[in-house]
Amino acid sequence: MDPRNIEKQRQPEEPRYLSFRHLPDGTMRDGKPALNKFSSTLTNGHDFPGAQAMLYAAGVPNRDAMKNSPQVGIASVWWEGNPCNMHLLDLGKEIKANVQKDGMIAWQYNTIGVSDGITMGGEGMRFSLQTREIIADSIETVTCAQHHDACIAIPGCDKNMPGVIMAFARHNRPSIMVYGGSIKPGYSDTLRKTINISSCYESHGAYIYKNLKDAENKHTPDEIMEDIEKHACPGAGACGGMYTANTMSTSIEAMGLSLPNSSTTPAESPAKMRECAKAAAAIRVCMEKDITPRKLLTKESFENALVIMMALGGSTNAVLHLLAMAGTAGVPLTLDDFQRVSDKIPFLADLAPSGKYLVADLFDIGGMPSVMKFLVAAGLLNGNIPTVTGKTLAENIDPYPSLPPDQVIIRPLTNPIKPTGHIEILRGNLAPSGAVAKITGKEGLIFRGKALVFNKEHELDAALNAGQIPHGENLVLVVRYEGPKGGPGMPEQLKASAAIMGAKLTNVALITDGRYSGASHGFIVGHICPEAAVGGPIAAVRNGDTITIDAENNRIDMDVSDEEILERLKVWEQPRSAVTRGVLAKYARLVGDASHGAMTDLF
């Protein structure tokens, strides 16, 4: 079976294991909706006495609750070592309390996460992307093994969101995503301005190239760095710009899988706790109306996700994640869909990393409902898709105010930042299966320069740390053997891209078969496919080759003939992977290519 044929990947509907009290359509024999259609397999009658004994021990209060109450799994991606995730246990407790108040049984559990901000630039980053699969595997496993009737998932960091949605698509039971929310803006006393996690990496580039200065020339570069490091992340919540976490949360809200304003409500705000309370009533609606994830994960809802991604200037990682979400749900989505939507949707949001504002600022002007209201009114966003509330998207956003006339974050359609989207899908002799570029227009649309090749990200980082990348001649920095298999794990390269920005190396473009953080910006191209580790043309690039990145014609080419590329690849030797066992070795064996979402469950 061709693993690239999405239609052939469509999984059969989850079988319904119903008790003797249920009719084949899932309703109770007395005509009432069966909210416990899955858990009743264990809890009705006495076919599973051991299961019932353990459920009583875990907290089921009485026989009536055992027989009649639906069981809702509350899955958080909680752990203490990352501000994006450290508050999710408390959000889960609030959701659990409200689920129980609504007469349902709630079981709280968690899965694992990796902090991209902490691992960035180091070997730990290789473990990041594969956590998306572990999260999906974990939630699918617990939901199906424990016969949960529904799932409320609470993600925080960027791989978390696609991971929980992929799990939803697999188990296909009523589900809602509650996003953990964004962090508050930080503030630097030495720079006298708002800062965030990206400021750390860009300031490091300025520090290395000896052009890091404060507002009044009163502090040393080391004192400035210390100030930035201490104050960039002032509390709980995901990175505050339109980076990957917020790109995914806003896209998923536009798909109807979370409650209104979930994606832009700050992590530590009272509104986020109120959202947790509302989730209990919403999951009951989903069960009563049989609103399941695959009914919401449609081509129309993915189209909405792409529109939001382009309008808000979202992360290149969303290409990877949306492809994987669609593939898991059996929805045909390809790189060409991203280009098609990018060609017609203007880039409107003045949000970091390329803009001035953060998602906390967007919340202050009405948040996602107000943005979506604007886009629906403009005919750019589909308001007719169903959502987890039981209402359409347009009905959800109707009570919310329109964007204030004096706001400056979302530009008018008559004055966009860029008349088309910032995501460009490139192909050419360097990337015959596709590559993903993030071109905001500020860098220009065409870049031509001589290749300077690095076989791993750490080689480029070392060159940048030593100040060895010069100003002057146009250079295309090529980082290879960092794809899904070659990395392994397709690590993000924010450290390098941010250092280039901080060092003001405007003569440099950066291309890779790996990927970038959502905080990355500049003239960057990632996801080059096929990757070097499987003998893609990027493996044949040599120092001094001229490379042209042409976003006007969606091309990325090296000035080398097809015949010469083939000759070079004939003598190419596949490098031995440094990882031969453990989770990364398993991931490298299973993972597919970036142009199909770097999925591990293709069949």
**Active site annotation includes 517:** yes
In the structure encoding, which two tokens stand for residue 112, read together?
Answer: 């694992």
| Interatomic CA distance for residues 316 and 533, integer angstroms | 21
From the candidates 517, 520, 561, 595, which is the catalytic residue?
517
DSSP letter at 31 equals S
Sign (positive or negative) of CA dihedral 82, 83, 88, 89 = positive
Q: Which residues pair with 188 in a beta bridge?
A: 193
Q: Is 475 helix (H, G, I), strand (E, B) or coil?
A: strand
**Cα–Cα separations (whole angstroms), residue 511 to 366, 437, 536, 569:** 37, 9, 14, 19
| Interatomic CA distance for residues 118 and 127, integer angstroms | 12
**Cα–Cα separations (whole angstroms), residue 62 to 55, 58, 74, 185, 348:** 10, 12, 21, 47, 55
Cα–Cα nearest to 514, from 461, 474, 466:
461
**Do the beta carbons of residue 343 and residue 421 sit within 8 Å?**
yes
Q: CA 445, 449, 452: angle at the middle one, nearest 5?
A: 130
Strand ranges of the sheet holding 105-110, from the earlier edge strand across to the other edge? 105-110, 71-76, 150-154, 175-177
Q: Residue type at 167?
A: A
> For the chain, what is the largest distance between any 2 Cα atoms, rounded to a whole number of angstroms?
79
**Do the beta carbons of residue 3 and residue 592 sit within 8 Å?**
yes
Q: What is the DSSP string of 515-576?
A: B--TT--SSEEE--SS-GGGT-GGGG--TT-EEEEETTTTEEEESS-HHHHHHHHHS--PPP
The angle, 0 to 180 degrees and rounded to 10, between the axes of the packed helices 367-377 and 244-254 is: 60
| Interatomic CA distance for residues 79 and 517, integer angstroms | 21
Residue recorded with tokens 């204030």? 404
| Interatomic CA distance for residues 321 and 249, integer angstroms | 12
Q: Where are the beta strands (DSSP E) in 23-63?
A: none
Q: Residue type at 541?
A: V
Q: Which residues pair with 475 in a beta bridge?
A: 450, 508
* Residue 156: how many other CB atoms lie within 10 Å: 31
**Residue 4: HSE in the Cβ half-sphere, 13 Å Cα cutoff:** 8
Residue recorded with tokens 């409500």? 265
**Residues across the chain:** 603
| Interatomic CA distance for residues 566 and 65, integer angstroms | 68
Q: Which residues pair with 438 in a beta bridge?
A: 423, 524
Residue recorded with tokens 């690095």? 454
3-state secondary structure 381-401: CCCCCECCCCCEHHHHHCCCC
Burial of 403 (0-12, 13-18, 19+ CB in 10 A): middle
Which are the catalytic amino acids?
A: 517
